[in-house]
Structure 1
Amino acid sequence: MFVSYRWLQEYVDLSGVTAEELADKITKSGIEVEGVENLNKGISGVVIGHVVEREQHPNADKLSRCQVDLGGGEIVQIVCGAPNVAQGQKVAVAKVGAVLPGNFKIKRAKLRGEESNGMICSLQELGIESKLVAKDYQEGIFVFPSDAEVGADALDALNLNDEVLELGLTPNRSDCLSMLGVAHEVAAILRREVKYPSVNVQTSDEQAADYISVKVEAKEDNPLYVARVVKNVKIAPSPLWMQTRLMAAGIRPHNNVVDITNYILLEYGQPLHAFDYDRLGSKEIVVRHASEGEKFVTLDDQERVLKGNQLVITNGSEPVALAGVMGGANSEVKDDTVNVLIESAYFKGLTVRQASKDHGLRSEASARFEKGIDPNRTRVAADRAAELMAEYASGEVVSGTVEVDTLTVEPAVVAVSLGRINDVLGTELSMEEVQDIMNRLQFENKVEDETIVVTVPTRRGDITIEEDIVEEVARMYGYDNLPTTLPVTVATPGKLTEYQLGRRKVRRFLEGAGLAQTTTYSLTSAGKATQFALNATSTIGLAMPMSEDRSILRQSLVPHLLEAVKHNNARQSDSIALYETGSVFLSKGEGELPDEQERVAGAITGLWHAHGWQGEKKVVDFYVIKGVLEGLFAQLGLEKRISYAPVKKDGMHPGRTAAVWLDEKEIGYVGQVHPVVQKQYGLRETYVFELHLQELLAADVEEVRYSAIPRFPSITRDIALVVDKNVLGGEVQRVIYAAGGELLKDVTVFDLYEGERMEEGKKSVAFSLRYLDPERTLTDEEVAKAHGAVLEAVEKEFGATLRS
Structure 2
Amino acid sequence: MKISYNWLQEYIDLGPDMTPEKLADLLTNHGIPVEVIEQLNKGIENVVVGHVLQTEPHPNADRLKVCTVDAGGPEKLQIVCGAPNVKPGQKVPCAVVGAELPGGVKIKRAKLRGVESQGMLCSAGELGMDIRLLPKEQTEGLYILPDDTPVGESILRVLGLDDVVLELELTPNRADCLNYRGVAYEVAAILGKQPKFAWTEQAAETGNPAVSPSSDSQAGPPLVRVRIESANCARYAAQVVRGVKIAPSPLWLQMRLLTAGVRPINNIVDVTNYVMLEYGQPLHAFDLAEITESTIVVRQAEEQETIVTLDGQQRTLDSSMLVIADAKRAIGIAGVMGGENSEVRGSTTDIVLEAASFDAGSVRQTGKKLGLRSEAQMRFEKGIDPTVLRPALQRAACLITELSGGELAGPPVEVVQQPAEELEIQLRVSRTNQILGTDLTVDQIGAILTRLGFATVTVDADTFRVTVPTRRPDITREIDLIEEVARLHGYDKIDTTMPEGVLSQGGLSKQQRLRRTIRELLTGMGLLEVLTYSFTNPTWLEPLGLEESSPLRQQLPLALPMSDERKVLRTTLLPSLAEVVQYNLNRKNLDMALFEIGKVFFAKDLPVTELPSEDVKVAAIFTGAFGGLAIGEKPRKVDFYTVKGIVEALLANLGIKQVRYQPAAVPGMHPGRTASVEAGGVTLGFLGALHPEVTEAWDLKETYYFELNLAALEEAAEDKILFRALPRFPAIERDIAVVVPLDVPAGSLELAIREAAGELLEEVRLFDVYQGEQVETGKKSVAFSLVYRAEDRTLTDEEVQARHNRVIEALEKGFQAELRS
Q: Please indicate the TM-score interval, normalised by the length of the shorter structure.
A: 0.5 to 0.7
After superposition, the Cα gap between the structure-2 partners of 1:585 and 1:375, relative to the gap in structure 1 and judged at 3 Å, is closer
Counterpart in 2 of 1:4?
A: 4
Which one of the candidate residues 568, 578, 585 is aligned to 1:562?
578
Which one of the candidate residues 647, 650, 654 is aligned to 1:638?
654
Q: Secondary structure at the match of 1:684?
A: coil
Q: Secondary structure at the match of 1:581?
A: strand
Structure 1 residue 246 displacement after superposition: 1.1
Counterpart in 2 of 1:38?
A: 38
Structure 2: how far apart are the matches of 1:500 and 1:203? 72
After superposition, the Cα gap between the structure-2 partners of 1:359 and 1:677, relative to the gap in structure 1 and judged at 3 Å, is closer
Deviation sequence 1:169-213 (CA, Å, 0-9, x none) = 52x544223111122123334444423236796649972562675
Q: Does 1:403 align with 2:404?
A: no
After superposition, the Cα gap between the structure-2 partners of 1:208 and 1:340, relative to the gap in structure 1 and judged at 3 Å, is farther
Which one of the candidate residues 213, 217, 235 is aligned to 1:210?
217
Counting only pairs closer than 5 Å after superposition, residues 258-657 of structure 1 correspond to structure 2 as 258-274=269-285, 286-289=295-298, 312=324, 333=344, 343=353, 345-349=355-359, 353=363, 363-369=374-380, 371-389=382-400, 393=403, 395=405, 402-404=411-413, 407=416, 408-409=419-420, 411-421=422-432, 428-449=439-460, 450-463=462-475, 466=478, 468-477=480-489, 481=494, 498-499=510-511, 502-503=514-515, 506=518, 514-518=528-532, 519=534, 528=544, 539-540=550-551, 557-558=573-574, 561-562=577-578, 564-566=580-582, 568-570=584-586, 574-576=590-592, 577-583=594-600, 598-606=616-624, 638=654, 641=657
Deviation sequence 1:456-502 (CA, Å, 0-9, x none) = 333334545545534533544567849889999x9999998543553
Structure 1 residue 59 displacement after superposition: 10
Structure 1: how far apart are the matches of 2:802 and 2:129? 86
425-434 vs 200-209, which deviates more?
Answer: 200-209
Amino acid at match of 1:514: L
After superposition, the Cα gap between the structure-2 partners of 1:270 and 1:508, relative to the gap in structure 1 and judged at 3 Å, is farther
After superposition, the Cα gap between the structure-2 partners of 1:202 and 1:395, relative to the gap in structure 1 and judged at 3 Å, is farther
Q: Does 1:128 align with 2:102?
A: no
Which one of the candidate residues 689, 693, 700 is aligned to 2:710?
693
Deviation sequence 1:361-381 (CA, Å, 0-9, x none) = 655445545655434434443
Structure 1 residue 723 displacement after superposition: 7.8
After superposition, the Cα gap between the structure-2 partners of 1:515 and 1:362, relative to the gap in structure 1 and judged at 3 Å, is closer
Counterpart in 2 of 1:252?
A: 263
Q: CA RMSD in A?
A: 6.9
Q: Which runs of 5+ in 1 are unaligned?
A: 532-536, 588-592, 774-781, 800-804
Structure 1 residue 253 displacement after superposition: 0.4
Structure 1: how far apart are the matches of 2:664 and 2:554? 35
Structure 1 residue 604 displacement after superposition: 2.7
Structure 1: how far apart are the matches of 2:588 and 2:412? 68
Structure 1 residue 600 displacement after superposition: 1.9
Q: Secondary structure at the match of 1:218?
A: strand
Report if the CA contact (8 A) 2:24-2:166 is conserved: no
Q: Does 1:157 align with 2:159?
A: yes
Counterpart in 1 of 2:250?
A: 238
Structure 1 residue 402 displacement after superposition: 0.9
Structure 1: how far apart are the matches of 2:615 and 2:234? 56
Deviation sequence 1:8-45 (CA, Å, 0-9, x none) = 34333557777677667656655676x42636597778
Counterpart in 1 of 2:182?
A: 181
Structure 1 residue 447 displacement after superposition: 0.9
After superposition, the Cα gap between the structure-2 partners of 1:331 and 1:598, relative to the gap in structure 1 and judged at 3 Å, is closer
Amino acid at match of 2:484: E
Q: Which runs of 5+ in 2 are unaligned?
A: 559-564, 605-609, 741-745, 809-821
Structure 2: how far apart are the matches of 1:557 and 1:27? 48
After superposition, the Cα gap between the structure-2 partners of 1:767 and 1:156, relative to the gap in structure 1 and judged at 3 Å, is farther
Report if the CA contact (8 A) 2:556-2:603 is conserved: no
Report if the CA contact (8 A) 2:80-2:112 is conserved: no
Counterpart in 1 of 2:607?
A: none
TM, length-normalised to structure 1 = 0.67
Amino acid at match of 1:12: I
After superposition, the Cα gap between the structure-2 partners of 1:289 and 1:305, relative to the gap in structure 1 and judged at 3 Å, is farther
Amino acid at match of 1:402: P
Q: Secondary structure at the match of 1:144?
A: coil
Deviation sequence 1:287-307 (CA, Å, 0-9, x none) = 445798899876556788999
Structure 1 residue 552 displacement after superposition: 13
Q: Secondary structure at the match of 1:402?
A: coil
Q: Secondary structure at the match of 1:601?
A: strand
Counterpart in 2 of 1:144?
A: 145
- The percentage of aligned residue pairs carrying the same residue is 32
Structure 2: how far apart are the matches of 1:716 and 1:167? 76
186-195 vs 300-309, which deviates more?
Answer: 300-309
Structure 1: how far apart are the matches of 2:45 and 2:735? 91
After superposition, the Cα gap between the structure-2 partners of 1:379 and 1:570, relative to the gap in structure 1 and judged at 3 Å, is same
Report if the CA contact (8 A) 1:343-1:382 is conserved: yes
Structure 1: how far apart are the matches of 2:317 and 2:20? 45
Report if the CA contact (8 A) 1:678-1:684 is conserved: yes
Report if the CA contact (8 A) 2:662-2:677 is conserved: no
Deviation sequence 1:294-328 (CA, Å, 0-9, x none) = 998765567889999966476x9998877766666
Deviation sequence 1:523-565 (CA, Å, 0-9, x none) = 785873679xxxxx98458799989x99999986446643553
Report if the CA contact (8 A) 1:70-1:151 is conserved: no
Structure 2: how far apart are the matches of 1:616 and 1:559? 31
Counting only pairs closer than 5 Å after superposition, residues 93-108 of structure 1 correspond to structure 2 as none
Structure 1: how far apart are the matches of 2:575 and 2:317? 49
Structure 1: how far apart are the matches of 2:306 and 2:358? 22
Structure 1 residue 516 displacement after superposition: 0.3
After superposition, the Cα gap between the structure-2 partners of 1:183 and 1:539, relative to the gap in structure 1 and judged at 3 Å, is same
Counterpart in 2 of 1:776?
A: none
Structure 1 residue 435 displacement after superposition: 1.0
Structure 1 residue 602 displacement after superposition: 1.2
Report if the CA contact (8 A) 1:79-1:115 is conserved: no
TM, length-normalised to structure 2 = 0.66
Structure 1 residue 442 displacement after superposition: 1.1
Amino acid at match of 2:585: N
Structure 2: how far apart are the matches of 1:306 and 1:355? 12
Report if the CA contact (8 A) 1:2-1:164 is conserved: yes
After superposition, the Cα gap between the structure-2 partners of 1:428 and 1:91, relative to the gap in structure 1 and judged at 3 Å, is same
Report if the CA contact (8 A) 1:652-1:673 is conserved: yes
Report if the CA contact (8 A) 2:514-2:714 is conserved: yes
790-799 vs 572-581, which deviates more?
Answer: 790-799
After superposition, the Cα gap between the structure-2 partners of 1:700 and 1:645, relative to the gap in structure 1 and judged at 3 Å, is closer
Structure 1: how far apart are the matches of 2:212 and 2:570? 81
Structure 1 residue 242 displacement after superposition: 2.4
Structure 1 residue 152 displacement after superposition: 4.8
